[in-house]
């Protein structure tokens, strides 16, 4: 059992609401320029008919809506800790006529009760898109995702990399800016995923994207 390494702030949900209360209105338009690799992740889900998909930290629902279009037979679920973000997600999903296909809930990625929330213990595809970098107990969130994965399923991750192929000034500027939004790119993502793969008998593929701007990972379960 993994222990929490970073204390969860007493009101992490409130902190996320404070960040996104106004940002959520410009989120989709502004983030498309710098949350790179999300559409690639959605394409790689390979979620055919009746495959169950769960997004951890679904934000405005942008990815779930794109996944619903890309994978018309899939059953989609998502949750977020921020009520403000969920309100936007619910409105967007309804506007797109997808309310019957996308089930949304409020929950914490480090401890979510899937049977209670969705009436099922496991999912065929679980994805975390630019979410680990905002979760204080992100290693626990990965453990929760691994526990919620069905046999034959896969976990898909995209998040900020360490900018290893880009100039140092770029990394300093980007990371300083991200700190304003409580975003901490996880420099030890790869070893943590390697450890997760060993403990849960998963196979890891780890791919830096755009010269290390983003990191992408897929964990598969036999």
Ligand X SMILES: C[S@@+](CC[C@H](N)C(=O)[O-])C[C@H]1O[C@@H](n2cnc3c(N)ncnc32)[C@H](O)[C@@H]1O
Rounded Cα distance between 105 and 151, Å, is 24
Nearest CA to 132 out of 175, 168, 161 is that of 161
Nearest CA to 130 out of 80, 93, 164 is that of: 80
Measured from the CB atom, the residue of 105 and 204 that comes closer to ligand X is: 105
The minimum distance between CB 138 and ligand X, in angstroms, equals 8
Q: Give the DSSP H or E segment for 23.
A: helix 12-23
**For residue 97, is it left (φ>0), alpha (ψ between -120 and 50) or beta?**
left
* Phi, psi for residue 62 in degrees, rounded to 5: -55, -45
β strands within 81-122, DSSP E: 102-106
- Specify the residue, 107 or 197, whose C-beta has the smaller distance to ligand X: 107
Nearest position to ligand X, beta carbon: 59
C-alpha torsion sign, points 6, 182, 38, 96? positive
- Of the two residues 95 and 151, which places its CB atom closer to ligand X in the complex? 95
Structure tokens at 126: 């679980």
Find the shortest distance in angstroms from Cβ 167 to ligand X.
Answer: 24
38/171 with CB nearer ligand X:
38
CB of 73 to ligand X, least distance (A): 22
Are 198 and 207 spatial neighbours (Cβ–Cβ below 8 Å)?
Answer: no
d(CA 164, CA 141): 25
| Smallest distance from ligand X to CB 144, Å | 10
Cβ proximity of 148 and 154 under 8 Å? no
Would you say 12 or 49 has its CB closer to ligand X? 12
Give φ, ψ of 180 to 5 degrees. Answer: -65, -25
Question: Cβ closer to ligand X: 85 or 146?
Answer: 85
Work out how close the CB of 8 gets to ligand X at its nearest, in angstroms, rounded to a whole number: 8
Q: How far is the CB of 119 from ligand X (least distance, A)?
A: 20
Residues of this chain that interact with ligand X (CB under 6 A) are: 12, 16, 31, 35, 38, 57-59, 62-63, 80-82, 85, 108-110, 129-131, 134-135
């Amino acid at each position: 059992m993994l222990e929490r390494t970073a204390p969860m702030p007493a009101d992490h949900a409130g902190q996320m609401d404070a960040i996104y209360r106004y940002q959520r209105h410009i989120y989709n338009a502004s983030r498309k320029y710098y949350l790179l690799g999300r559409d690639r992740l959605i394409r790689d889900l390979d979620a055919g008919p009746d495959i169950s998909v769960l997004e951890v930290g679904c934000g405005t629902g942008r990815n779930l809506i794109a996944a619903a279009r890309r994978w018309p037979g899939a059953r989609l679920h998502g949750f977020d800790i921020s009520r403000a973000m969920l309100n936007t997600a619910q409105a967007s999903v309804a506007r797109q006529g997808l309310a019957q296909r996308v089930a949304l809930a409020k929950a914490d990625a480090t401890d979510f009760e899937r049977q209670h929330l969705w009436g099922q213990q496991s999912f065929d595809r679980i994805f975390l898109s630019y979410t680990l970098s905002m979760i204080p107990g992100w290693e626990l969130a990965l453990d929760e995702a691994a526990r919620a994965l069905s046999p034959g399923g896969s976990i898909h991750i995209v998040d900020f990399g360490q900018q290893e192929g880009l100039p140092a000034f770029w990394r300093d500027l980007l990371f300083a800016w991200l700190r304003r939004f409580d975003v901490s790119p996880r420099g030890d993502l790869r070893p943590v995923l390697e450890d997760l793969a060993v403990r849960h008998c998963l196979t890891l593929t780890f791919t830096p994207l755009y010269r290390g701007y983003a990191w992408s990972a897929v964990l598969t379960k036999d």
